[in-house]
A and B are shown apart, each in its own frame.
Chain A
Amino acid sequence: MGNLPEFVATSTLITPRPEEGSKDRTMVLNMGPQHPSTHGVLRLVIEIDGETVIRVVPDIGYLHTGIEKTCEAKFYQQVVPMTDRIDYLCPMTNNLAYCLAVEKLLQLEIPDRAQWMRVLLNELTRLNSHLVWLGTHAMDIGALTVFLYTFREREEILRIFENISGQRMMTSYFRVGGLALESTLDFFDRVQALVKILPEKIDEYENLLTGNPIFFNRLKGVGHLSAEDAIALGVTGPPLRASGVDWDLRRDMPYSGYDKFKFNVPVSNDCDVWARYIVRIQEMRESVKICQQALDGMPEGDIKANAPKVVLPDREKMKTQMESLIYHFKIVTEGFQVPAGEVYQGVESPRGEMGYYVVSDGTAKPYRVHMRNPSFATLQALETMCKGKLIADVVAVIGSIDIVLGEIDR
């Protein structure tokens, strides 16, 4: 090891193998896989001493469908619908990360309008995801009403998605090289109407929750995670920012034209569940601001890159021009070839850093697609946040990391 000290496994942050015969005083409790507050099929094996949590061992993989393996058998374009299905609350963010990675491999220039549309849709997706989180998190705690309020606004976002892409949830709207379709006629008006009412709706949620002493006491001081532990355990996104680390990929490593937008990155030093709640609420307000900027400054122009061998031609051209018809036929039947190489593209999803590592061997199918999922890493911090605390707080902590099992298991 040279002149470096020998490293000892940092077992304080990692669950070691349980020792035999150490369970005299404690009880093992099985939470999930079917449990209303685990948001999917998360199974937690919790060891408790009275009401105090001693160990939490997450057991995952119930939703594992081998998406990474399936991707290797598909053309580059066919992978886009797979990415929707990983994290079903933010399909557009996944689309974006994957498309950016492949575009980096192809070294494509994306027109401004497509980039701005992507930013607008990504922020709507973030709002969508945060609204679901807010409703379900409050519901886990016992505040049932908020759920009905947030799903009212979420419904409008889903209708806008349906309007533009034809699908409410699995939108698959992004393409390698741009977007699938030009936006519909009333798209911008509907987004504008939504963006206009959202700030007062967020005030409404805050009126129900932020000043509510029951909600506050249930969250304050629960699930403490220090900045050092958060970094050591790979936590990203709102939980990291709620631990006082000022890091947001949109601002610090901008992609897809995010450097042209002005927004604040909310940070809190409280490190608890309450701080994560506050950070996400403020993030929603910032997202609304970004949406407004995108609407105001939306450039005119193409929504697809000028790369006939990669991007499908317009329907009209395909029907009238021989050349376009040939390209269309070739892309649909053979896919497009991507130069050999490897790239990693990280984007800021509502849950943290969503990264796509794409390896190409020069053929029309990706050699390897790996997704780096925020929830997967954040789940490792669950034990650190729950250890030594009451078992009733486990539900609040799970809600605060905004877990999506689809992206953990893939």
Chain B
Amino acid sequence: MADALHGKDAVFEAHAQNTAIAALRAAHPEAVTDAKFDRDELTLIVDSGLIRTVCRTLQLAGYNFLEDVTCVDWYPLEPRFQVTYHILSHRLKERVRLHVRVGSDDPSVDSITSIWPSANYYEREVWDLFGVRFHGHPWLRRIMMPEEWEGHPLRKDYPVEGYR
């Protein structure tokens, strides 16, 4: 297995033929702020305001299937939340991962439900368990926890055994 590649320029140079990179380079080179190619998986770190544009560009480039939206809490680092998208192409048999970093001060990011309706439940789950809001989501409400629950359990500052 090849060594990990870090940095936008290095990854873009080494994988210039990759469909996702080629499409983004042609349409929105400024949207990708950093990139990583590690353990045969491509990760692109995307500017938080441009996630919808990037997703749409990838969709048009053949990445037709949204597999997953989730989040990682890097507390106490800032920007604290890393919203992660896994997007698959049935035709190319390739997967690309997008990261969006969101700060802890009113954490929010644009919803991609208008591009992939399947993001509906995933975004509700991220809102419920991490407290990251999604702008433009049609009906953002808790999905796992009860409606009146306080706090977001998967945050790192939320104790594993809960508040007693």
Residues of A within 8 A of B (CB): 1-2, 4, 7-11, 13-17, 60-61, 64, 66, 68-70, 72-73, 104-105, 107, 231-234, 245, 247, 252-253, 341-344, 346, 353, 355, 357, 359, 367-368, 370, 372, 376-377, 379-380, 409-410
Contacts and interface: CB of A to CB of B under 8 A. Distances in A.
B121 A377 contact: yes
Contacts of B52: 1, 7
A232 B90 contact: no
Nearest to A359: B72
A113 to B, nearest CB: 22
B80 interface: no
B12 interface: no
Interface stretch (B15-23, B59-67, B100-108): B59-67
Contacts of A10: 113-114, 117
A409 B144 contact: yes
Given A7-B52, A253-B93, A14 B138 contact: yes
B153 A233 contact: no
Contact of A234 (B66, B73, B146): B66
Interface in B36-51: 38-39, 41, 43
A367 B71 CA distance: 12
A410 B70 CA distance: 14
Contacts of B115: 7
Contact of A13 (B65, B67, B117, B160): B117
Nearest to B161: A73
A308 to B, nearest CB: 21
Given A4-B56, A253-B93, A342-B43, A14 B160 contact: no
A368 B86 contact: no
17 contacts: A2-B53, A10-B114, A14-B113, A60-B143, A61-B142, A72-B160, A104-B39, A232-B118, A234-B66, A234-B116, A247-B90, A341-B38, A342-B97, A344-B67, A346-B95, A372-B68, A380-B121
Contact of B39 (A13, A17, A66, A107): A107
Contacts of A367: 72
B116 A344 contact: no
Given A104-B39, A341-B38, A66 B153 contact: yes
Interface in B122-153: 129, 136, 138-139, 142-146, 153
Interface string B54-90: 0011000000111110101100000000001010001
8 residue pairs, one from A and one from B, having the closest CB atoms: A234-B118, A7-B114, A13-B117, A372-B68, A61-B144, A64-B144, A370-B70, A17-B139
B72 to A, nearest CB: 5
Among B84, B115, B118, B136: residue with most chain A CB under 10 A: B118
B67 A353 contact: yes
